[in-house]
Homo-oligomer: A and B are copies of this chain.
Amino acid sequence: MAWHFAVMLDPAASDDPRTSFADTFTEVDPAAPALSVGELSTQRGDGIFESIGVVDGHAQEVEPHLERLAHSAAICDLPVPHLAQWREAIALAADRCGAGEAVIKLILSRGVEHGPAPTAWVTAAPAADNSRVRVDGVRVVTLDRGIDSAAAARAPWLLLGAKTLSYAVNMAAIREAKRRGADDAVFVSSDGMLFEAPTASVILRIGDLFVTPAPTGSILRGTTQMSAFAWLDAQGLVTEYRDVPASALPRADAAWLVSSVRLAAPVVSVDGAAIPVDADLTRRMNEYLLGPRD
């Protein structure tokens, strides 16, 4: 795999006002050993992350990603991330990305077992070519997430609103989708509500209304979904957060999986049954999402 950049962040960076965190960064070879076997990120998936899209050296929606990082840290009882330090590391990474599309990842691990502090790093790598999937779309299958839609409120230790490193189930869901001849999955609650895709948010068009499941704690706040909603609003279209029954997806007038790197992938079928695709709106939405966004 080609890489652009990797840098370790010193968690002990002072909170004093400062103009640069450069002395808290240690650039590492992304292909060389950089983490010890005692890392709780590897042993326990114990940490949080963000994936930020980069287009022609511009990191997209950095502030919403940093806000979500801080939100995830709070849910997981991790130290408050030093956002100015992360922001500077992101800028450094974006500078290395050059032309084209790339992805910057932020990782905040609980640290080394019995260690004194978290481990933090930022990587940048070229993005996969998503130009076809933004046009051809994705066949999705709905998969039971096992939990009901009220679980997040009564059991915050399930960390449902946090973007944790414990993504084994998300990865297994994508494998299951492929086993069924589809491209991706959409999680539904055990009581029949629409949640999210393993690595994307879901937007549906129902008549003239664009809806996405309300981020009530069961799902992640989608940075790209928020960006897409802002664009839809600016087009004079009507958007709404609401509880969405899973049964609405196969009956939608159009649907998209939206995420930071793949951007808007139109859903072409749900559990094997085709749904309409709005090719023109999809194209314009992706044009917007590929432009610089802050």
Contact = CB atoms under 8 A, between A and B. Distances in A.
A87 interface: no
Nearest to A51: B43
A168 B172 contact: no
Top 9 A-B residue pairs of the complex, sorted by shortest distance between their CB atoms: A45-B45, A166-B166, A166-B168, A146-B151, A41-B42, A33-B33, A146-B147, A44-B167, A45-B166
| Residue of A38, A41, A162, A168 contacting most chain B CB atoms (<10 Å) | A168
Contacts of A112: 1
Interface string A160-200: 10101111111111011000000001000010000000000
A273 interface: no
Given A151-B144, A172-B157, A165 B44 contact: yes
B190 A147 contact: yes
Nearest to A175: B77
A51 B162 CA distance: 27
Contacts of A151: 144, 146, 190
A158 interface: yes
Nearest to A172: B157
Contacts of A155: 143-146
Interface in A113-130: 113-115, 121, 123
A41 B41 contact: yes
A32 interface: yes
Contacts of A176: 156-157
Nearest to A148: B190
A34 interface: yes
Given A43-B49, A151-B146, A168 B76 contact: yes
Given A37-B107, A46-B168, A159-B169, 13 more contacts: A1-B114, A30-B36, A30-B38, A32-B36, A38-B123, A41-B45, A43-B107, A76-B172, A146-B146, A146-B147, A146-B148, A146-B151, A164-B168
A28 interface: yes
Contacts of A171: 44, 46, 110
